[in-house]
Amino acid sequence: MADDFTAKLDSYLDGELRADEIKAVGLHVRSCPACSADILSRVQLKRAVQIAGKRYAPSAEFRARVRRKIAARPRFSPVRVWLTAASTIAVLLVAGLLANYVGNQRLERRHAFSEIADLHVATLASPNPVDVVSTDRHTVKPWFQGKIPFTFNLPELSNSEFTLLGGRVVYLEQTPGAQLIYQVRKHEISVFIFQDGAVNPALREASGPLRHVSFNLQSWSDKGLRYFVIGDASGDDIRNLADLLKNAAKS
Amino acid sequence: MEVPEERLTSATFEELAMPLFDQLYNFAHWLTQNRSEAEDLVQETYVKALKGFSSFQPGTNFRAWIYRILRNTFLTSRTGLKATATVPLDVDDAPEVPAGPDTPETIFIERSQQQLLQGAIEDLPLHFREVLLLCEVEEMSYQEIGEALAIPIGTVMSRLSRARKALRENLRQKLEGG
C-alpha cells in the first residue's frame, strides 16, 4: 500500500481531487488489493454515516411557527414607515388640493356660463327684450355707438334662416356689452359681445353644450372681443350663427 | 447555491431558506443533542439570517452562509460554549493510516447497528462531529465547509481525516465494549 495514495483516498471519495489525480488513484486502487480493501471500508463508513446522520426531523408545527415568524414580519424600519406615511400624506394632500383646485375651476366656469344663460333667459322673459327693435343690422349696429366701449360687425342674414330681432346693452360683472337677439324657427338666440380682457377668465374656455342649463353655446375670441352665442336651438343652428358672425367680423 | 444580485430581496429569503429547514434542524439537533435547544437554535438562526439578509453577499453561497450563522449562534449558546471548552488542535499531526481488512466499519455494517454508529457520532468532539456531518450528510464540498465553519480548506481536510479516524476508534471501542 502506497502512503501517498492512502492519504488521498478520502479526498478521492469526497470528489475533491483533480481529474488527473482521480485517474491516478483509480488506477492504483485497481492494482493494489490493500488500497482496494481500504477504500471499500471507507465507502461503507461514508454511506453508513450518511444514513445515520439523517436522524432528526423537525415537527410540522415547528416548521410552521418559523415560517410564520419570518413571513409575518415586514422589514420596515421606523424611519421608513414614517417616510412612507409622510409621502402618502403629501401625495394625498397634493391630490386633494389639485382636486379642489380643478373642482373650483369647474365650479367657477359653471357659474360664469350660468350668468350668460341667466342674461339670455332674463332678456326673453322681459316684456321688452330689446332696446333697439330692428331686423336691419345697419340700424342695430349704430345704435350701440357711445353705449359700449367697442364696435363690431353684424352678418348679412338675407340668405340664412336667421332673423335679427334687435339688441340691447347688457352688463356682465359690471362690464358693458352688446346683446343681440336672433330668431331661427321660433327659437330665440342671444349673441353677447364683450371686450375679451374684461370678462371672467373662466368664460374663455372651449364651447359646447351647457348641460346644467340645457342650452347650447358657442364662444370664441376675435380681435379683442369675446363672443357668446347661446340658446335652446340645436347645436347646428348655434354653430351656423356663430360662423356667420365670425365671417362678418373678418369683413 | 449562489444567489444572483438581482434576486437579493427580502422576498426571496423565505424561498431560499425554507428548503434548508430540515437539514438545518438535523444539524442543529446533532450539535445541541436536544430537541428543544435545536428548535431554539434554528428559530434564532432564521430570525438572525432574515435580519442580516441585506448584508448577504450576492454571488456567494447562501447555504454556507446560513450554516455559518447557525453554527456561530450555537457557539455562543450555553451548550455551545460548554462543547467548545476543549479547544481542538488543527495540526495535522496524525499520519493517515489504512482502515484495514477487518475494520470496525465493516463489522458494524455486518451487524447493522445504526444506533451504535449514531452513538459513535454523538461521542465525537464538536469540531469533528460538525465537519463530518457537513461532509457526509450535507454533502458539502470542502470549500463550502470551509465557508460554513470559517476555516481554511486545508484545515477542513485534516479535521475531516481526524474525525473519520476518531469515529472508527469510537466504533471499535463500542464494538469491543458491547
| HEC assignment per residue over chain B | CECCHHHCCHHHHHHHHHHHHHHHHHHHHHHHCCHHHHHHHHHHHHHHHHHCHHHCCCCCEHHHHHHHHHHHHHHCCHHHHHHCCCCCCCCCCCCCCCCCCCCHHHHHHHHCCHHHHHHHHHCCCHHHHHHHHHHHCCCCCHHHHHHHHCCCHHHHHHHHHHHHHHHHHHHHHHHHHC
Q: Which residue type does A190 have?
A: S
Class of domain A109-250: alpha beta
Spatial CB neighbours of A44, under 8 Å, sequence gap ≥ 6: B105, B106, B109
List the end-to-end C-alpha distance of chain B, in Å, as a whole number.
43
Res A126: pLDDT: 77
pLDDT of residue B94: 47
- Please tell me the least confidently modeled range out of A4-18, A45-59, B159-173: A4-18
What interhelical angle do B126-136 and B142-149 show, nearest 10? 140
- Which domains does chain B possess? 5-83 (1.10.1740.10), 104-177 (1.10.10.10)
- Chain B residues whose CB is inside 8 A of the A11 CB are 157
Res A129 pLDDT > 60: yes
Report whether pLDDT(B47) > 90: yes
Q: Which 3-state string (H, E, C) describes chain A?
A: CCHHHHCCHHHHHCCCCCHHHHHHHHHHHHHCHHHHHHHHHHHHHHHHHHHHHCCCCCCHHHHHHHHHHHHCCCCCCHHHHHHHHHHHHHHHHHHHHHHHHHHHHHHHHHHHHHHHHHHHHHHHHCCCCCCEECCCHHHHHHHCECCECCCCCCCCCCCCCCEEEEEEEEEECCEEEEEEEEEECCEEEEEEEEEHHHCCHHHHCCCEEECCCCEEEEEEEECCEEEEEEECCCHHHHHHHHHHHHHHHHC
Rounded Cα–Cα distance for residues A36 and A169 (Å): 122
| Residue among A41, A53, A66 whose CB faces B106 most closely | A41
Q: Give the burial string for B51-79 (b: 16+ CB within 10 Å, else e).
A: eebeebeeeebbbbbbbbbbbbbbeebeb
Q: From the CA of A202, how many Å to the nearest CA of chain B?
A: 52
| Phi-psi domain of A173 (left: phi exceeds 0; alpha: psi -120 through 50; beta: other) | left
Per-residue pLDDT tens digits for A16-50: 999 998 988 888 888 888 888 888 889 888 988 99
**CA of A70 vs chain B CAs: smallest distance (Å):** 7
A49–B114 CB contact, under 8 Å: no
Residues of B in contact with A46 (CB under 8 A): 136
| B29 Cα to chain A: minimum distance (Å) | 7
Give residue A30's pLDDT.
Answer: 86
Write out chain A residues lying below 8 Å of B118, CB-based: 52, 55
- Name the closest residue on chain B to residue A11, using Cα atoms: B157
Residue type, A112: A
Q: Which residues of B touch A58 (CB under 8 A)?
A: 21-22, 25, 39, 42
Q: Are A62 and B22 in contact (CB under 8 A)?
A: no
B31 touches B41 (CB < 8 A):
yes
Q: Do A49 and B38 touch (CB under 8 A)?
A: no
CB-based contact B25 A57, cutoff 8 Å? yes
Give the residue extent of every domain in chain A.
3-53, 109-250
- C-alpha cell, B103: 475494520
Residue B87 has pLDDT above 90, yes or no: no
Across the range B2-28, mean pLDDT stands at 79
Q: How far is A3 from chain B (nearest CA, A)?
A: 8
For B25, the closest of A10, A56, A73 (CB atoms) is: A56
What is the arrangement of strands in the sheet containing A175-184, beginning at the earlier edge strand? A132-133, A163-172, A175-184, A187-195, A225-231, A215-222, A208-210
CB B137 within 8 A of CB A49: yes
- Residues of chain B in contact with residue A10, where contact means CB-CB under 8 angstroms, are 157, 160-161, 164
Using a CB-CB cut-off of 8 Å, the residues of chain A touching B25 are: 56-58, 62
Average pLDDT over residues A173-183: 87
Q: What is the pLDDT of residues A188-243, one digit of tens each?
A: 999 999 988 877 777 776 556 666 567 888 888 888 899 999 988 888 889 889 98
Pairing assessment for the beta strands A208-210 and A187-195 based on DSSP bridges? unpaired
Q: Do B96 and A48 touch (CB under 8 A)?
A: no
Residue whose grid cell is 464540498: B141
Contact B14 A57 (CB under 8 A): no
**Residue of chain A whose Cα is closest to the Cα of B54:** A75
